[in-house]
Amino acid sequence: MKHWNRYNPIGAEEKAAVNRVLDSGVLSKYIGAWHEDFNGGVEVNAFEHELAEYFGVPHAVVFNSLTSGLIAAMGAMGVQPGDEILVTPWSMSATATAILIWGGIPVFVDIEPDFYGIDPNRIVEKITRKTKGIIVADIFGHGARLDELRALADQHHLFLIEDVAQAPGIQLDGKFLGTWGDVGGFSLNYHKHIHTGEGGFCICHRDDIAMKMRLIRNHAESAVSGSPIDDLTNMVGFNFRLGEMEAAIGREQLKKLPMLLQQNQKKASRIIETLAGESWLVTTPVGKPGEHAYYVLPFRLTDDRITNSQLAEKLRERGVPGIVCGYVNIHRLPMYQQKIAFGPFPWAHSEPDHYHYDIGQFPIAETLHTKTFIGLLISMFDLNEDECTWIANQMIAAYQELSAEVQHE
Ligand SMILES: Cc1ncc(COP(=O)(O)O)c(C=O)c1O
């Protein structure tokens, strides 16, 4: 079986950055009180400044993970027990867990099958007097239908948070993903286009929201007196702080982001071009080149005689790397099926019978998961042109084999 090299964006620049921090002896500098070091050390501050500049926003706040960042964002937006937040079921679990932590109730909304984002046409029917916000995921590397979602959020006085874990540095209609929302959150974990081992950051426009996120990051309850925040809602602190070494690595990674994105987009283009004549599968209809980060190169099967798991098995036999068969349907996780998080809370706070996470409720996300979605995690492998062509040809051959088999049945 062929050996595949793992993608590795860490080089001499990151090593030098880590050595700079080690030489300084200051591996972290936060003080969890209102103090000149409340915002951390030189690398953290410089990284936040550079991120804000890159995205053209007033604020960037770094965290030890995006999970922490999303929790801080939900807290800063003022989510309280019993508040309903509309959320995509087609994302990593943290997108919805961030709601639960504050006692909010995730209300899932089905997705649309082109960009795999929350479907704007299904939002209004889910809005109640308890709805406070929407959290979308720009999944696999492409934006959700953000112009429509932004307009709906404004029209109904809801906040909009964007989970951009998988799409750093991508623009939609000339506007960076993450800036469509009131807060946009990015992951810097080991699996992402740019990484710091573990880490994440949130960008936002509003001073008060940025300050609240900084407080939640750093023991809010000890730091709030003296700070400009006088509304104590959710000023319950955590330790979500990113260290100086990770921030120093992040600064180098940010410089490489455009180049790394282009490399990954080249891999995707090669595979898509090779599959151009194949009508049994479709990929995301990307408007302009560069509008997809291809964290996962997504495909939807259109031949209903075959399923994603059958094709995945054939591809694995052929040694194709990074196969993603189906994707997370968050509502299917046991905690939602049994409605048990903090004991019976947060559901027991409201009307538990009012919230349903039954399997079958979200036909688009569920059919994609069980039957029609197959993706390639191309961002995790170092692939040259020939290897990309080989992968696409294996897909064609695997489909032909499967097609012949189902014909004979
Ligand atoms: C869509 C999405 N949201 C949130 C996260 C959580 O990010 P982190 O691992 O930095 O907490 C991930 C991580 O894989 C993700 O893919």
Report pLDDT digits (tens) over 313-370.
999 999 999 999 999 999 999 999 999 999 999 999 877 778 989 999 999 999 999 9
| Ligand 1 near 308 CB (within 6 A) | no
| Ligand 1 near 71 CB (within 6 A) | no
In this predicted structure, the answer to whether residue 49 has a pLDDT above a threshold of 80 is yes
Residue to substitute in 61, 64, 67 for testing ligand 1 pocket (most ligand atoms within 8 angstroms of CB): 67
Identify the band that residue 404 occupies on the pLDDT scale cut at 50, 70 and 90: very high
| Ligand 1 near 88 CB (within 6 A) | no
| Ligand 1 near 94 CB (within 6 A) | yes
| Ligand 1 near 97 CB (within 6 A) | no
* CATH number attached to the domain at 12-253: 3.40.640.10
- Name residue 201's beta-bridge partners: 62, 186
- Residues 6 or more apart in contact with residue 361 via CB below 8 angstroms: 108, 110, 331
Query: How far is 162 from 143, CA to CA, in rounded Å?
Result: 9
Which amino acid is located at 200 in the chain?
Answer: G
User: Ligand 1 centroid vs 197 CA: distance in angstroms?
Assistant: 13
Question: Which atom of ligand 1 is least distant from the CA of 188?
Answer: 10
Question: Which atom of ligand 1 is least distant from the CA of 69?
Answer: 11
Query: How far is 23 from 248, CA to CA, in rounded Å?
Result: 13
| Ligand 1 near 310 CB (within 6 A) | no
- Name residue 162's beta-bridge partners: 136, 184
User: Ligand 1 centroid vs 124 CA: distance in angstroms?
Assistant: 27
Identify the band that residue 53 occupies on the pLDDT scale cut at 50, 70 and 90: very high
| DSSP state letters, 193-210 | SS--SS-EEEEES-HHHH
User: Ligand 1 centroid vs 54 CA: distance in angstroms?
Assistant: 21
Percent of the chain predicted with pLDDT > 70? 100
As a three-state string, the secondary structure of 249-297 is HHHHHHHHHHHHHHHHHHHHHHHHHHCCCCCCEEECCCCCCCCCCCCCE
In this predicted structure, the answer to whether residue 409 has a pLDDT above a threshold of 80 is no
Structure confidence at residue 408 (pLDDT): 79
Query: How far is 262 from 242, CA to CA, in rounded Å?
Result: 27
Q: According to CATH, where is 3.40.640.10 located in the chain? A: 12-253
Q: According to CATH, where is 3.90.1150.10 located in the chain? A: 258-327+365-408
Residue with tokens 């599959």: 275
| Ligand 1 near 187 CB (within 6 A) | yes
pLDDT digits (tens, 9 = 90+) for 256-291: 999 999 999 999 999 999 999 999 999 999 998 899
Fold type of domain 258-327+365-408: Aspartate Aminotransferase, domain 1 (3.90.1150)
Residue to substitute in 62, 189, 327 for testing ligand 1 pocket (most ligand atoms within 8 angstroms of CB): 189
